[in-house]
Structure 1
Amino acid sequence: MDLFSSLFSVLVGYALPFLFVLTVVVFFHELGHFLVARWCGVKVDAFSVGFGTELAGFTDRKGTRWRLSAIPLGGYVKFAGDENASSMPDRERIAAMSAEERRSAFVAKPVWQRAAVVAAGPIANFLLAIVIFAFVFAAFGRVVTSPLIEKVQPESAAEQANLQPGDLVLAVDGKPITTFSELQRIVTVSADVPLQLDIDRKGEVLRIEVTPQHREVTDSFGNTQRIGLLGVTRSPKPEDLTVIHYGPLEALAEGARETYFVVERTLGYLGGVLTGRESADQLGGPIRVAQVSGQVATLGFVPLLSLAAVLSVSIGLLNLMPIPMLDGGHLVYYFAEAVRGKPLSERVQDFGFRIGIALVLMLMIFATWNDVLRLTDL
């Protein structure tokens, strides 16, 4: 009975939230490919949520097989003329097609249409994130506090820069801010990077340079991450706390800004990894996503929705990486074709796909290894 209870707890606590988040994100990614393909007159052979053996499905009136498959770790849209789910062309099948069949094949479409179909997946991920964030803001609003410093921690970056309790932060590097969370967001991704703070100190506007310190912090779930810290706390006074309510258009604008922030932060972290400023051990794989999904699910459905939005942005960015087999790699091929006036040779494309598969597998193994190391540290 104890074993059964433990398994049930893992299923409900981790597996179901993980599958919910991943299925929503993957479905909309593939739906982007699907809708633009249909708009361009491409025949879609299959739309699958998951890989492997089909568990359930149906065929629509246009001949597309909609599948729910056994391995719920992704999905794909397979176009007429594709060899597999990575959209590698099946040249034997294409050669055997009739003229009418060839007209609806993905590979026979103009390069701009193929590029539009491929780009639609990541774009759908970004749009999904905007809509989710907008829904949360419109339905629940946002609780914010003013960027007023209540306390300065000893031996912190803030103390070294002579920031003082009562200072009101007006801008960071010339960018005006109105909430403490805006200050936090900038600081957390700016470890060891000098920042220029414009502050109001008893009516006098001062400019102070401060460099956030690189620190490891542990959240309430025991997860450790390295971020930049100033060493200041916000004001707890009720008069410094505000609930902002948004109308539909305002919520969409805030959703777009939130999505842009996630993109900016993700690219900033990846850039830090490439330059050696950040450690790659913060990268996570499916185990990490499942763990975080379960933890966030304990906070409620709305935080889980927000996690789905963040993951949607991450998957959109990942797919835009210029690696053959991913959407970004296909776009590189199509760009080369547009410039040359003809596709790259079959040999070059096949070689690129093999390199792409190897790179993706190495990235998956590395991220999963990071996940395992985190689990052993718990």
Structure 2
Amino acid sequence: METLQIGIQIVLMFFVLVTLHEWGHYFFAKRAGILVREFAIGFGPKLFTYKKGETRYTLRLLPIGGFCRMAGEDPEVLQVVVGQNVGLQLNKDQVTRIYADRFDRLPNIVVGEVEDVDLEKDLFIRLNVDGESIRFPVHPQALTVSQGREVQIAPLNRQYGGKTVGQRALTIFAGPVMNVILAFVLFLIFAFMSGIPTQVKLGDVQDNSPAAKAGLLKGDIIYSANGEAIGTDADKLIKIIQGSPDAPVQFMIERGSEQLQKAVQPTRDLSSDGTKESQPRIGTVLEYKTRTATVGEAFSSSWNDMTFMTKQILIGFKKLVTGDFKMNDLAGPVGTVEFTAQVASAGIAPMIRWSALLSLYLAIFNLLPIPALDGSRLVFIGLEALRGKPIDPNRESFVHFIGFAMLMLLMIAVTYNDILRLIKG
């Protein structure tokens, strides 16, 4: 039952992170008047799909992302060309459907050979009907139908490329912004749930560890170490412990109503091959004694978490650029799910904080200038603003395709490494 609950939490977390990101793109695209053809969660084969209005909503097999497919984001492929025989369905003298095939038996259809067609600017189609050339106006939301598949036409004023630089930039930027907002809200919820730290205290104490041998117990509050007040600075306590490999650390603790002094000698552990020593440690987990946060404190705590985690994420990306990392430092979908399951088993508060971190990571990662990511699309928009004219859509699409392929190869390599790591334990 617990495994099922953790599984549901993981699926829900990824669903919310991806959906909110894509909703940011979707919302501002609709506000700009862009035709959104598909709003998809996941990649690969469709599991569920339905169409409402102009947009098809789909849930796909691979839960590794999502997309908001906008008309004109890639070059439009027209299904109607000069010399082709088509069937037209009219409503009040306007074309509402253009059938590329299978129209012979349809009632009330005008059939003819296409002499001229423009489905982007002037919105018309000219047919040769029984030797007579007739020009038909086309409705802005007309559908082309080929092999039973309906595709709505996209006039230039409904295409992504037909909008201003500002409208397109806002549409692309909105996805990461939604993840940043979600991260802040989740950090805020975590602050209210966990409270404001007032003192460092001991969590679990390992059996036969230096802390256990010195008489330290779970719940002991640490006032000072080697005469230095600790307060809520757990990092300071860790540095004092790691800086005392050869001398005991003098602790002043509070246990209930008593204040006690304990001397703890940190130890080093050898690696499995006996060649490398770990940092000095005492064998305990550090936690915090907390109190309920005020609204102001919760917002301040959320902001501090945001800034700290942003710095850590950027440090991680810097290591990727400089090559200062190992393959095991990276985690793909399998590794992320594995760690998320561990966090979820620790409780709802850690899960909320981890979800906030992932949402922030998703926002920052998407803003990197890597082809196929939002950051790369913003770079192209910026180049267009500087040049005064857009980049060739075919070239831009090719760049994004190559980038997407490289990201998928990296994803496969990292996932393979995750699986090997699981097998090896």
Q: TM-score, normalised by structure 1?
A: 0.69
Identity of aligned residues (%): 28
1:189-268 aligned at under 5 Å gives the runs 242-268=289-315
Q: 1:125 to 1:341 in 2, by over 3 A?
A: same
* Map of 1:28 onto structure 2: 20
- Within 2, Cα distance between the matches of 1:255 and 1:335? 32
**Deviation readout 1:334-371 (Å, 9 max, x if unpaired):** 11111111122345424422431232123212321331
> Aligned pair 1:77/2:107, yes or no?
no
* Map of 1:364 onto structure 2: 411
- The answer as to whether partners of 2:39 and 2:57 remain within 8 angstroms in 1 is yes
* Map of 1:180 onto structure 2: 233
1:62-141 aligned at under 5 Å gives the runs 62-82=53-73, 88-90=74-76, 92=78, 96-98=119-121, 101-141=155-195
Letter in 1 for 2:292: H
CA shift, 1:9, in A, is 8.0
Q: TM-score, normalised by structure 2?
A: 0.62
- The answer as to whether partners of 1:47 and 1:66 remain within 8 angstroms in 2 is yes
CA shift, 1:112, in A, is 1.6
- The answer as to whether partners of 1:81 and 1:93 remain within 8 angstroms in 2 is no
> Aligned pair 1:166/2:235, yes or no?
no
CA shift, 1:231, in A, is 5.0
SS at structure 2 position matched to 1:325: coil
**Deviation readout 1:284-333 (Å, 9 max, x if unpaired):** 00001111122122122232222211111111122112111111110111
- The answer as to whether partners of 2:200 and 2:232 remain within 8 angstroms in 1 is yes
CA shift, 1:35, in A, is 1.6
RMSD, aligned CA: 3.8
Whose radius of gyration is greater, 1 or 2? 2
* Map of 1:174 onto structure 2: none
SS at structure 1 position matched to 2:72: coil
**Would you tell me which structure has more helix in proportion to its own residues?**
1
- The answer as to whether partners of 1:37 and 1:44 remain within 8 angstroms in 2 is yes
Q: Any unmatched runs of 5+ in structure 2?
A: 81-117, 123-139, 141-154, 203-209, 212-223, 243-251, 253-268, 272-277
- The answer as to whether partners of 2:29 and 2:36 remain within 8 angstroms in 1 is yes
- The answer as to whether partners of 1:129 and 1:309 remain within 8 angstroms in 2 is yes
- Within 1, Cα distance between the matches of 2:158 and 2:370? 27
* Map of 1:308 onto structure 2: 355
Letter in 2 for 1:179: T
CA shift, 1:280, in A, is 4.3
- The answer as to whether partners of 2:44 and 2:61 remain within 8 angstroms in 1 is yes
- Within 2, Cα distance between the matches of 1:146 and 1:301? 22
* Corresponding residue pairs, total: 307
Letter in 1 for 2:392: S
- Within 2, Cα distance between the matches of 1:147 and 1:332? 48
Q: 1:64 to 1:109 in 2, by over 3 A?
A: same
- Within 2, Cα distance between the matches of 1:350 and 1:56? 27
CA shift, 1:254, in A, is 2.0
Letter in 1 for 2:333: P
- The answer as to whether partners of 1:51 and 1:70 remain within 8 angstroms in 2 is yes
Q: Any unmatched runs of 5+ in structure 1?
A: 1-7, 83-87, 154-162, 170-177, 192-201, 203-214, 218-227
CA shift, 1:38, in A, is 2.0
CA shift, 1:256, in A, is 2.5
> Aligned pair 1:46/2:38, yes or no?
yes
- The answer as to whether partners of 1:147 and 1:180 remain within 8 angstroms in 2 is no
CA shift, 1:125, in A, is 0.8
- Within 2, Cα distance between the matches of 1:327 and 1:262? 21
- Within 2, Cα distance between the matches of 1:90 and 1:181? 57
CA shift, 1:74, in A, is 2.2
Q: 1:275 to 1:52 in 2, by over 3 A?
A: closer
Work out which structure has the larger RCO, using CA pairs closer than 8 Å and 6 or more positions apart in sequence: 1
Letter in 1 for 2:418: D
- Within 1, Cα distance between the matches of 2:194 and 2:233? 19
